[in-house]
Amino acid sequence: LLHIGVRVNISLISDFLIKMMKLPVRFFDTKMTGDLLQRIFDNKRVETFLSSTTLITLFSLINFVIFGIVLLYYDRAIFYIFSFATVLYLAWIFLFLKKRRELDYKRFDQMAENQSNLIQLIGGIKEIKLHNAEKQKRWAWERIQAKLFRVSLDFLRVDQFQKSGSAFINESKNILISFLAARAVIEGQMTLGMMLAVQYIIGQLNAPIEQLVTFIHSAQDAKISLERMNEIHTQKNEEEASNKIPMLPEKRDLNLQDVSFQYSGPHSPMVLQDISFSIPSGQTTAIVGTSGSGKTTILKLLLNFYEPTTGRVSIGDQSLVNMQNRMWRDRCGVVMQDGYIFSESIAKNIALGDEIIDRKKLLQAVKVANFQDYIESLPLGYNTKVGADGMGLSQGQKQRMLIARAVYKNPDYIFFDEATNALDAFNELVIMENLEEFFEGKTVVIVAHRLSTVKNADNIVVLERGELVEQGTHKELTALKGAYYHLVKNQLELGA
């Protein structure tokens, strides 16, 4: 059973992770990391239930049946009293299950919040120290602990009250049975040896009942844990592969038609409003605008992370929502502002998704990203392991690794979201020159503020407060002296 319990636990967590990988990005926008981690840790209760509690309870029930038959043979009256008291005892236990369930969910929520808070404390330790916020953050953590303590205290109070009632019923039963057995001995209806045998049998019957109560509590805990897992399993998958188109259409222009979008939430504002423009295949399109104008949101819609609230995003004449996500994203090379670096070797980080790394593609990718000299200067070269989220790398080095990752895929579509904003002028110049050659024949979408990354685009789309206000080439838009001109003048420092 221990072997089965461990295997079932691994299987549950594995199924949970498989399901989690299939969920849409918007699901993770509404879930704290601590919540998901706590659901995984909760599976330990399922393992405990299967491996230890179940086996012990099984043997206890066998003992209960055998000694119950023996007691019935010795004295029917005592057997019936014991049976009635046992039913009353179990009824008392079941009376508290609903309250235990409520408190378990409350405790889960607090523990999930605690997990998320600790993750933030560890991840944000540099910012905490820089702003002398140790005390405030510690107080915030202590407030969570106070809530967790109160919930745990409520749980303990209910548990103690339940145990007190159980002990009262159990001891009353034992006293009554002892009294009846003693009286039977005095009246000559039972020998002293029989009375001692009955007392021994009662002791042997009490232990399985206690074990049964432990089993009931453990079963409830396991059931609650499985329900929490099932909350994730009942979520709708990002896509059903059987219903999706597995190949790109002949016409490969990207089109946004009357697209409006708002993030989930009852009072969320519209991030995009009636956006319509085309991204011609094989050309470079730049999207510019002030912060919060919806540039990154458009990239997320183009990558099918979200579906538009209204309107349509399409490739040629096919709606993007009808395309198979694995196929579509396999054709896309992406560098996002918050791109993640894994705690793996540099080579595995760049060749993310490939079990066998293509050495030729790897060298080409790091060359384009101007990252080759740095990597080859390291003692372990491409096998150098980096810390989680790029620990040990500068922001510029992280960006070059992310650019190399996008180039390694040799994709048909490239999406860059502020992909060079952390680079120094020299590295940016070299990388942009390398990318110009790499971009040939590919559909490129660039979100940026710097003039050097957008001025050569075939088409520039200008956003303002979620609306498309201008589009055209760099020359055309600067001649208009409108929104783009002011962005160029103020943010890209043109003509300064």
Q: At what angle do helices 76-95 and 54-74 cross, to 10 degrees?
A: 150
For residue range 21-76, what is the model confidence (pLDDT) as tens digits?
888 888 887 788 888 888 888 877 887 787 777 778 888 888 888 888 888 888 88
pLDDT at 5: 67
CA distance 40 to 18: 13
Q: For residue 388, is it within any domain?
A: yes
- Residue 317: Cβ-neighbour burial (10 angstroms; 0-12, 13-18, 19+): exposed
Q: For residue 496, is it within any domain?
A: no
pLDDT at 444: 92
Residues 346 and 457 both lie in one domain: yes
pLDDT at 266: 65
Residues 261 and 224 both lie in one domain: no
3-state secondary structure (DSSP) of residue 463: strand
Residues 365 and 405 both lie in one domain: yes
Tens place of pLDDT for every residue, the chain, 496 residues? 567 767 777 888 888 888 888 888 888 877 888 888 888 888 778 877 877 777 788 888 888 888 888 888 888 888 888 889 989 999 999 999 999 999 999 998 898 889 888 888 888 888 888 888 889 999 999 999 999 999 999 999 999 998 899 889 988 988 898 888 888 888 888 888 888 888 888 888 888 888 888 888 888 888 888 888 888 888 888 876 667 888 888 888 999 999 999 887 667 788 899 999 999 999 999 998 888 888 889 999 999 888 898 999 999 888 888 888 888 889 999 998 888 888 888 899 999 888 888 899 999 999 999 988 888 888 888 898 887 777 778 888 898 999 999 999 999 999 998 888 888 888 888 888 888 888 888 999 998 877 767 888 889 999 888 888 888 988 888 888 888 888 777 754 544 3
Q: For residue 247, is it within any domain?
A: no
For the chain, the domain total comes to: 2
Q: For residue 428, is it within any domain?
A: yes
Q: Locate tokens 């089109």: which residue?
A: 255
Q: For residue 330, is it within any domain?
A: yes
Residues 144 and 262 both lie in one domain: no
Residue 43: domain span:
2-233
Residues 285 and 223 both lie in one domain: no
Residues 322 and 439 both lie in one domain: yes
Residues 367 and 290 both lie in one domain: yes
Residues 436 and 485 both lie in one domain: yes
Regarding pTM above 0.85, the answer is: no
Residues 306 and 185 both lie in one domain: no
Give one DSSP letter per residue of 100-122, joined into a string.
HHHHHHHHHHHHHHHHHHHHHHH
